[in-house]
Structure 1
């Protein structure tokens, strides 16, 4: 992902998290385990198993000592990890916000 695209995605994520009425950062982070569990059980339609696997691969890439571009190549080696980190963070925060809104809609739909 190009530097400009990473910066644009980071900006979109920031705007989404700070939008009035949108779930806040804390709510999104707390929703991550629920979202992942619901997606794995097939209960949350917004996150398919393929996309969940791709996010898992992103986590593995960040924590893995093996990189496409080795870290000893100064800034270039760290830039690919940072790009994956930005993509992963933006994807998880964006999807967890949609998940929180999906949960809210389900709660509203349940008759009292």
Structure 2
């Protein structure tokens, strides 16, 4: 069976997802609408946060995506390609949309395509997400006046294999 990231790659190439990419590129200049989307996606992911294991890690990374887009839109973090942010917003729109390949109202299976697309995004943009997570740690330490913790190898970012296979 293929991994979640491979399934997400297939979804990312689907015509339905291209609609979300177009919508995301139009929304990028509208911070208030992006803020509403970020809040709704964070709430949706938080509802599923009770999940353990690989899906819990994937939800945490989905919330990292929400924070990345939020930091970009507010101007706090711009060390990321605009195309990455457009793809990230498209993923968030897809997660939020009731009109995706597998409707969310179908128990368990309904969120699998959402998780697959998040997994694809995390896999494709893993280096940019790792840089953002490091920036978050550094800026949080700077804001608190505490010296940043020593850098840890990529153990803070789950390996793709840890994200699970379906």
Q: TM-score, normalised by structure 2?
A: 0.34
TM-score (norm 1): 0.46
